[in-house]
Amino acid sequence: MTFLNVLMLVGLVAVAVPIIIHLFHRQRVSTVDFSSVIFIRDHHMQRSRALRLRELLLLLLRVLIILLLVLAFARPVIEGLAGALLGSSVEQRSVFAIVLDNSYSMGAGRYGDTPFNAARTEAERIVDAMQQGDEGLIVLTAAPPEAVPPVPTDRTAALSARLAEAEVSESSGDIAGALRLARRKLSGIVSAHKSIYLLSDLQRSDWENLAEMVTISESETSSESRVPIYLYPFEAGSVDNASIDEVSVSEGLLIRNQPERFVATFTYRNGVAAGLSRTVQAGPTEQTAQAGQTAQAAQAAQAAPTRRTRRTREVRLVINGLDRDSRQVTAEAGAAGSVQFNVVIDTPGRYSGYVELDEDDVTADNRRYFILEVPEAFGVTAVGQSESTYFIEQVLKPSGGLVTPVDVQTASADVLNSDLYDSGVLIVDGGVELTAARLSSLERYVSSGGGVLAFLGEGLDPAVYGNGFFTNVFGCSIKERRGTPGSKTSFHRMDQVDFEHPVFRFDGRYAESLSTGEARFYASYAIDAGLGARVIARFMDGTPAVVEGRSGSGRALLVASDLNTGWSDLALRSAFVPFMHRSVRYLHPSVTVAEGGHLAGKPVVRPMTDLRADAGLYIEYPSGHTETVNARTGRHGITVEVPDTKQPGVYALWDGDAVVQAFAVNPDTRESDLARFTPAEAAAMFGTGADVVLMDPADAPDVPRGGTFGAAGGYEIWKSLIVFAMALILAEYWLSGSRSGRSGRSGRTGRTGRTGRTSWTSRIMDRRKA
């Protein structure tokens, strides 16, 4: 049994009213003086037992009358033969949410044969099945999820128009967030069937946050977490796709008129079957079925490379709207590779562009945007001992005919005693005494957008090993110092270098110098890297040698040893030159690279440290649309938040007529991996308590109309309950009336006992006669 008007069940507390009245009247006994009762005592005892039985029957009838009336107003629904005999079929409105997956993997295919078009057709069929009084809305899953219209509507034409306007997004999907939004929109609606129709290609990365949502839903007690979900799976056919995953810019040495290096990393995803699913733990029956599906998919995947093992693609570089270079790349199915462009940019300024692949079956991941700002000079401040600053100046600003765009300034350690506001790269030698106050100043400098290259040496006090600069920026702490400065009998070598990182992407003899461990480190610090720390180089014993850190919009590098020749001979090795040049490029705040970058659909927060508080900032979107941005004023300047980044491209922040900052937004290419869950695996992710029904769009069944507050085939029995209640009222009237008549006669003969009580209905009749 379910109830269509659950709130009326609160009236059940009224059942206590006749019980309280009954208990109260039991204490009211009238005594009549009589000469002698010896002859009627036995007869009185017999009559008292009969009266008690009648009072209990009246109490039961009155409780049942109230109970039936309350239940009738709550509109109970039951199923089966009893419901068919006692009630009438339920004709109740339905309120539903169509959760339509419009992430860019749904657009895989050609000539309109895509999972999205198939899902939209099915959604239109659900809308067409609406009956009078039904309401619905559409939730699009592309991050951030969006409900259209904002509230459920009964206008079929409006929903059909929204579906016709819906398009495949260029961002990834958020299934968990879309379901939360759908449940929130359905909450608060009463007296209606509630349903969620989920139409998706079951792409794995879109569903990864669903487990967290299920944990929250299982802890909820509201009925909104139990709304039935009808899951419609869709699948792309044979797909030919490659994606541009990363673009790194400006990795050469800091030398005037030297070509800038643009390196694009791509993945040729053809041959990765769209329907191939990785298995998860399942029951024996499911495992058997999945094993068969996986075997078939594996055979198809093995056959696909036989038909098309390699393909040549064209990759082009566009800067400021002009084609600057192009390359032909050939890759095997499922393989990753990189392509390099060398372009001379001899004029300082801000440049925007992208690297693009030729067209394939998934267009959203064929283009990767970047921003390159070539400053007049790279500002570098070297803080430390004279020996270390000498090495830094000779590398970044060499004497002779070689010209580098670097402005090197030296400073004493006193500059770290206060906040630093000049954006640039700060190189801190290991000989500088790093007090807690100075480390705090460095942390704020990084958070405000500056770059820091810190070497650890004699100036590090054990009291600051766990300072927030290390834990917050780098995600690590310092354990201990090892080795003896100046003692060259024992040393560590650098090993396990991440040569894919922009700082260590060396060529030729420079890479060989690092890989063979030429540099010797006589003394260093043992760094305890946390779970989220990014270690880009290690010593041969596995301990971190170089750690990258980030805070706010700034970057930092931490080296576990010092430039002082008593600590290491790194400054004397050939790899030291590209290491310093690439580090300055990577850390300098004016050089914005698409590496990592901002992802489409995710809010972007940018610190604007050099603007006044009343600056009139507005954002220009890639489409050309402009609007005022939400700016917040803090200690280090203005922080700007851009919440709407669904469109990939270059975003520009303007202050009046000048562009003060620009950044690139790119799609999350994890969406390009079309590996998917099987429908059974996806349904299992909702947990054991969820009501999930797998649907087969190919069979085109009737649109289900289940819900929390009723079920198909149910019958309302409130009319029957009203009839029963009226019958009980008549019975109560007769029983209490007959008793009151006899009680009246007994009272006239002077019989002793409780006073007679009349029924509710008889009292009303008596008042009318009077």
CA–CA–CA angle 670, 652, 648 (5° rounding)? 25
Cα–Cα dist 647/250, whole Å: 25
Radius of gyration of the chain (CA): 39
What per-residue confidence (pLDDT) applies to 600?
A: 92
Least confident range from 79-83, 386-390, 535-539, 752-756: namely: 752-756
Tokens representing 336 are 């990753």
Query: pLDDT class for 633, splitting at 50, 70, 90?
Result: confident
With a CB cutoff of 8 Å and minimum separation 6, the contacts of 411 are 381, 382, 383
What per-residue confidence (pLDDT) applies to 332?
A: 81
pLDDT at 529 > cutoff 60: yes
Of residues 703 and 125, more confidently modeled: 125
Tokens representing 123 are 């959604």
Query: pLDDT class for 547, splitting at 50, 70, 90?
Result: very high
Q: Measure the N-to-C terminal CA separation of the chain; round to a whole number of Å.
A: 46
Backbone angles phi, psi at 651, to 5 degrees: -105, 135
CB 334 within 8 A of CB 271: yes
Location of structure tokens 């054990």: 462
* 680 C-beta neighbours (distance < 10 Å), count: 18
Angle between helices 576-587 and 386-396 (to 10 degrees): 80
Cα torsion at 396, 401, 407, 411 (round to 10°)?
60
What per-residue confidence (pLDDT) applies to 148?
A: 93
pLDDT at 59 > cutoff 90: no
What per-residue confidence (pLDDT) applies to 381?
A: 93
Query: pLDDT class for 181, splitting at 50, 70, 90?
Result: very high
| Residue range 614-620: mean pLDDT, rounded | 81
pLDDT at 521 > cutoff 90: yes
Query: pLDDT class for 366, splitting at 50, 70, 90?
Result: very high
Cα–Cα dist 539/496, whole Å: 7
CB 589 within 8 A of CB 424: yes
With a CB cutoff of 8 Å and minimum separation 6, the contacts of 107 are 114, 115, 116, 168, 362, 363, 364
What per-residue confidence (pLDDT) applies to 260?
A: 81
Query: pLDDT class for 6, splitting at 50, 70, 90?
Result: confident
What per-residue confidence (pLDDT) applies to 296?
A: 42
Q: How many CA atoms lie within 13 A of 409 on its CB side?
A: 13
What per-residue confidence (pLDDT) applies to 41?
A: 59
pTM to 2 decimal places: 0.69
| Residue range 626-634: mean pLDDT, rounded | 80
pLDDT at 299 > cutoff 70: no
Of the spans 160-169, 287-296, 409-418, which averages the highest pLDDT? Answer: 160-169
With a CB cutoff of 8 Å and minimum separation 6, the contacts of 655 are 611, 615, 616, 617
CA–CA–CA angle 575, 581, 582 (5° rounding)? 90
Cα–Cα dist 740/28, whole Å: 16
CA–CA–CA angle 454, 459, 462 (5° rounding)? 100
Backbone angles phi, psi at 383, to 5 degrees: -115, 120
Least confident range from 295-304, 417-426, 680-689: namely: 295-304
| Residue range 135-159: mean pLDDT, rounded | 93
Which residues is 493 bridged to in the sheet?
A: 520
What per-residue confidence (pLDDT) applies to 751?
A: 40
Of residues 769 and 711, more confidently modeled: 769
* 318 C-beta neighbours (distance < 10 Å), count: 17
Cα–Cα dist 20/531, whole Å: 66
| Residue range 140-158: mean pLDDT, rounded | 93
Least confident range from 158-162, 446-450, 596-600, 721-725: namely: 596-600
Cα–Cα dist 251/260, whole Å: 7
Tens of pLDDT, residues 687-715: 877 889 999 877 756 677 554 333 445 67
With a CB cutoff of 8 Å and minimum separation 6, the contacts of 604 are 598, 641, 642, 645, 651, 663, 665
**Proportion of the chain above pLDDT 70, given as a percent:** 76
Tokens representing 726 are 């009226």
What per-residue confidence (pLDDT) applies to 9?
A: 82
Mean pLDDT of the chain: 80
Tell me, what DSSP letter sits at residue 107?
Answer: G
Which residues is 664 bridged to in the sheet?
A: 650
| Residue range 499-519: mean pLDDT, rounded | 73
Least confident range from 163-167, 212-216, 497-501: namely: 212-216
Tens of pLDDT, residues 406-415: 889 999 888 8
Cα–Cα dist 313/240, whole Å: 12
pLDDT at 57 > cutoff 70: yes
**Proportion of the chain above pLDDT 90, given as a percent:** 36
What per-residue confidence (pLDDT) applies to 278?
A: 36
Tens of pLDDT, residues 153-164: 999 999 999 999
Query: pLDDT class for 552, splitting at 50, 70, 90?
Result: confident
Cα–Cα dist 34/753, whole Å: 12
Least confident range from 193-207, 438-452, 543-557, 703-717: namely: 703-717
| Residue range 434-452: mean pLDDT, rounded | 90
Backbone angles phi, psi at 578, to 5 degrees: -65, -30
**DSSP code string of 1-24:** -EES-GGGGGGGGGGHHHHHHHHH
pLDDT at 559 > cutoff 80: yes
Strand pairing report for 310-319 and 322-332: antiparallel
| Residue range 639-653: mean pLDDT, rounded | 90
Residue ranges of the alpha helices (H) in 384-519? Answer: 386-396, 436-447, 468, 508-515
Which residues is 196 bridged to in the sheet?
A: 97, 229
What per-residue confidence (pLDDT) applies to 307?
A: 45
What per-residue confidence (pLDDT) applies to 324?
A: 93
What per-residue confidence (pLDDT) applies to 14?
A: 84
Q: How many CA atoms lie within 13 A of 327 on its CB side?
A: 19
Location of structure tokens 């149910």: 714
Cα–Cα dist 382/391, whole Å: 10
Whether cis (ω within 30° of 0) applies to the bond prior to 150 is no
Location of structure tokens 């006239």: 748
| Residue range 40-63: mean pLDDT, rounded | 74
What per-residue confidence (pLDDT) applies to 115?
A: 94
Cα–Cα dist 22/60, whole Å: 11
CA–CA–CA angle 589, 595, 596 (5° rounding)? 100
Distance of CA 291 to CAs 279, 295, 599, 733, Å?
A: 8, 6, 36, 72
Of the spans 32-46, 301-315, 371-385, which averages the highest pLDDT? Answer: 371-385
What per-residue confidence (pLDDT) applies to 698?
A: 75
CA 327 to chain centroid: 37
